[in-house]
Chains A and B, each alone.
Chain A
Amino acid sequence: MADLIDMPKLSDTMSVGTLIKWLKKEGDAVQAGDMLAEIETDKATMELETFFTGTLIKIYAEAGSQVAIGAPLCAIGKPGEAAPAPPVASATPPPPVVTMPAAVVVAAPTPVAVPVPAAPAPVIATVAPAASQTSADRLKISPLARKIAADQKIDATRLTGSGPAGRIVKADVLAAVANPSLAVAKQTAGQTPSGQQPRTVTRSGPIQAERTVPATNMRATIAKRLLEAKTQIPHFYLEIEVDAEPLLTVRAQLNTALEAEGVKLSVNDFILKASAEALRRVPGVNASWTGAGIQYHGATHVSFAVAIEDGLITPVIRDAHLKSVFAISTEVKPLGQRAKQKKLKPEEFTGGTFCVSNLGMMGIPKFSAIINPPNAAILAVGTTVTKPVVKNGAIIIGQTMTLTLSCDHRVVDGALGAQFLSALKDLLEKPALLLV
């Protein structure tokens, strides 16, 4: 049986060797200790020694070739013996049969991601996932405080931290547990009531944190003025039902035709214009009680109510009687946006002579509003309702809208109010009149 000589490992870092040249040839007799070839390693050129005595019967690796450790180089055997076929080179021995330790996960030096507590059931005011936090930064809270907040069901995002860099610490959470008013929702721009963070309700436990929220300026103002209005103005209410179909048709026509220009007129835009025109016909409503008498206003500055976070505000379209529906529409949109961002200038929300409040988009069919002093009236607009109506003696499906006018009886009597509403109905049902 011939002995195989493999490429040896000649240095601790060697992985392949280059067989530079053979010092013996096939057929030569060799003794144990003889040098057979020169091999170049990564470190030096060494000589290949044979441990076997015999005849070099076969050379497998040609001079100049690169051979991996363990691959056969030559065979030593008896003269004339058949050389074995070079076996599949088993290079390095199989690795130890041990499970190497799993790579140690190096904990990142930066603060770890906010762990979302794995609550068994969704709980109100658990720490919201980072993405929906109000501020752009991650919540700064100590691990202990976070744990207590989770246990006590405090919404940590509503807390103010007293620790370094505003970090919420245990003391802050414990204070909020004792006094829930401290967990105040932070004021952020661009939020409407509908834009509040989604809250999930649990079947057991309170529907909201029991708390007292001190009034903001706006809320206080609204409270004061509307209390005054409701208690000091003698309100009476007139209702009228309007056929909305013609209006809706015209609106659709205009919106389709002007779509390319980016025009989108709303029903309310028409109502504002119509109100101004109705005031032109029945100017007695465009007035204010002065205490000693009535001040009649020459211009109709029509205001419209906008709901904003924490209250409402009434931006004004000045000289609405002089503006087209299109012009009004163009003004209404930015005013509305700025109203929600609380960026209205005083002159933009004061000085109105008449107000329109529209809860139509909220699905309210009819309601009565409270007069906005020093106005003499306020128009409440309901939603367009599809219902059976009588037309030309037949019952058909119609679209109706209910308008309710609240009137200050000191300025507007029933008859005057009725006249105004009648004029308004006329204008809305014949929208072509708004063009002239």
Chain B
Amino acid sequence: MLFKPQVSLVFDEVTLNNGIFASNYYFKLKAFPVTKKPSSTKKPEVTNLGYDARQAPINIKLGQDEKIALYRDMVRIRRFEERCLRSYQQGKIGGFLHLYIGQESIAVGCASVMGKDDHIITAYRDHGHALAVGMGMNEMMAENYGKITGCSKGKGGSMHYFDPSRNFWGGHGIVGGQIPLGTGLAYALKYKGLKGACMAFMGDGSVNQGAVHESYNLAALWSLPVVFIIENNGYSMGTSQERSSAGPSLAQRAEGYGMNWAIIEDGHDVLAVRDKVGQALKLAHDKSLPSVLEIRTYRYRGHSVADPDTTYRDKAEIEAYKSTKDPLSVFQLSLLAEQTLTDELIQKIDESARAEAETSAQFADASPYPSIEDIKKDVYWEIDNPADRKSVGALFFD
């Protein structure tokens, strides 16, 4: 027990409306605060004091082209997201739009350390991860527009991009609902004897969902090769971490399940992300052990486009982050310093990314919508593969 309740009896006199004297007794519970000292002997991973991610083995071997590619991928995400915002404001995208602006380093960093049997699953802020694993802007934008040329044939929308061929399993709308799925992917990998892991992403708002705790337990109990990655941008929609999550850091909850955990303070540093996530993946591959990583990051935009973003934080905070920790700027500056990037190349990369995003918007605009017959397709595998259908009877009703 970490606390001992102290009980006192309180007597409360109450006079009811009809003048009858009544009394209430209740017990008042005073609890001592939880001790801050973790009970396990495992020490948390050292955070980034004096740590230079560029020197980490996984990063030191990066060639120029690879570094430029990392930078380019982040710029592409940024420009795509900006173009999505414009389209949404023009009324061409319906429903939800959760932008990844400010968090690009995480998706790009993680995707860049994926092996052939590593998989990614994330929540609804999925555009970054989708681009990072190599999905195309055209089909992504067309999906946002609800067109049949979309990556989910217009049936999922912004929150539901999938690409199994690139080991990307979506794109999920229910907060925390994807975490058991990620645990299952890891289970299957282990079952099949593959040397792979599943990176299961979630936001700081997911960590209190029951399904997440159940997944932690299963992963730790059965030593599943899953890396739970908490992209902590400080706000669960409009509720800050302090106001929603009890206890110290989010990742430290892993200790309750005996899992390894780490906090990456410099989530905006794509190289730091590569290093730490790479280590967690190695642990999963080699020893089939799960980890919980908390990556501190920031989003510049509201939770979604409908969020005016004024009720829970002020502009100054956003500006402060932007000016010191913008993932693109930080990496750009470091690459400029080592002359991997030039101003000209930066310009080219930027224009090319804008053009690619613009093209995707035009592609989406010009694409047709699904037809009414498409509504009942992709519901049952058997209906979509009639030659292999074994069941009979009616699967749809009027």
Touching chains A and B, CB distance < 8 Å: yes
CA gap between A91 and B91 in the complex, in Å:
8
Minimum CB–CB distance for B91 against chain A, Å: 5
- Taking CB atoms and an 8 Å cut-off, the chain A residues in 190-228 that contact chain B are none
CA gap between A274 and B147 in the complex, in Å:
98
Among A43, A46, A93: residue with most chain B CB under 10 A: A46
Q: Is the CB of B89 within 8 A of A12?
A: no
Q: Which of A95-103, A131-139, A180-188 contacts B (4 or more CB under 8 A)?
A: A95-103
CA gap between A69 and B371 in the complex, in Å:
27
B90 CB-CB contact with A under 8 Å: yes
Task: Please encode chain A, from 25 to 49, with 1 for each CB lying within 8 Å of some chain B CB and 0 for all others.
Answer: 0000000000000000001111000
Q: Is the CB of A43 within 8 A of B308?
A: yes
Task: Please encode chain A, from 6 to 18, with 1 for each CB lying within 8 Å of some chain B CB and 0 for all others.
Answer: 1011111000000
- Taking CB atoms and an 8 Å cut-off, the chain B residues in 32-50 that contact chain A are none
Minimum CB–CB distance for A53 against chain B, Å: 12
A350 CB-CB contact with B under 8 Å: no
**B363 CB contacts on chain A under 8 angstroms:** none
Q: Give the total number of A-B pairs whose CB atoms are below 8 A apart.
A: 47
Residue of A with least CB distance to B96: A12
CA gap between A45 and B306 in the complex, in Å:
11
CA gap between A92 and B93 in the complex, in Å:
11
Q: Is the CB of A70 within 8 A of B308?
A: no
Q: Is the CB of B86 within 8 A of A98?
A: no
Q: Is the CB of B89 within 8 A of A8?
A: yes
Of A44, A93, A99, which one neighbours B310 at CB under 8 angstroms? A44
Among B86, B94, B96, B306: residue with most chain A CB under 10 A: B306
Total chain B interface residues with beta-carbon distance under 8 A: 20
Q: Is the CB of B306 within 8 A of A11?
A: yes
CA gap between A54 and B150 in the complex, in Å:
34
B1 CB-CB contact with A under 8 Å: no
Q: Is the CB of A6 within 8 A of B372?
A: no
Of A10, A92, A101, which one neighbours B372 at CB under 8 angstroms? A101
CA gap between A11 and B308 in the complex, in Å:
9
Q: Is the CB of B95 within 8 A of A12?
A: yes
**B82 CB contacts on chain A under 8 angstroms:** 51
B88 CB-CB contact with A under 8 Å: yes
CA gap between A8 and B91 in the complex, in Å:
7
Of A9, A44, A45, A101, which one neighbours B91 at CB under 8 angstroms? A9
CA gap between A46 and B89 in the complex, in Å:
12
**B146 CB contacts on chain A under 8 angstroms:** 96
Q: Is the CB of A45 within 8 A of B96?
A: no
- Taking CB atoms and an 8 Å cut-off, the chain A residues in 54-81 that contact chain B are 69-70
B321 CB-CB contact with A under 8 Å: no
Residue of B with least CB distance to A51: B86
* In the complex with contacts A97-B368, A101-B372, A9-B90 CB distance below 8 A: yes
* In the complex with contacts A12-B95, A98-B369, A6-B90 CB distance below 8 A: yes
* In the complex with contacts A43-B308, A44-B308, A51-B82, A10-B89 CB distance below 8 A: yes
B305 CB-CB contact with A under 8 Å: yes
**A96 CB contacts on chain B under 8 angstroms:** 146, 369
Residue of A with least CB distance to B87: A9
* In the complex with contacts A92-B91, A93-B92, A10-B368 CB distance below 8 A: no
**A46 CB contacts on chain B under 8 angstroms:** 308
Minimum CB–CB distance for B226 against chain A, Å: 34
Q: Is the CB of A11 within 8 A of B369?
A: no
Q: Is the CB of A70 within 8 A of B305?
A: no
Minimum CB–CB distance for B96 against chain A, Å: 7
Among B91, B95, B368, B372: residue with most chain A CB under 10 A: B91
Q: Is the CB of B371 within 8 A of A9?
A: no
Of A10, A11, A98, which one neighbours B371 at CB under 8 angstroms? A98
- Taking CB atoms and an 8 Å cut-off, the chain B residues in 80-137 that contact chain A are 82, 86, 88-92, 94-96
Minimum CB–CB distance for B375 against chain A, Å: 9
Minimum CB–CB distance for B237 against chain A, Å: 14
**B370 CB contacts on chain A under 8 angstroms:** 98
Q: Is the CB of B306 within 8 A of A43?
A: yes
CA gap between A208 and B219 in the complex, in Å:
86
**A6 CB contacts on chain B under 8 angstroms:** 90
B interface residues (Cβ-Cβ under 8 A, vs A): 82, 86, 88-92, 94-96, 146, 305-306, 308, 310, 368-372
Q: Given A8-B89, A97-B369, 18 other A-B contacts at CB below 8 A?
A: A8-B88, A8-B90, A9-B90, A10-B306, A12-B305, A12-B306, A43-B308, A44-B310, A45-B308, A45-B310, A91-B91, A93-B90, A96-B369, A98-B370, A98-B371, A98-B372, A100-B372, A101-B372
Question: Can you spell out 14 A-B residue pairs with CB atoms less than 8 angstroms apart?
Answer: A8-B86, A8-B90, A9-B89, A9-B90, A10-B89, A43-B306, A43-B308, A44-B310, A51-B86, A96-B146, A96-B369, A98-B370, A100-B372, A101-B372
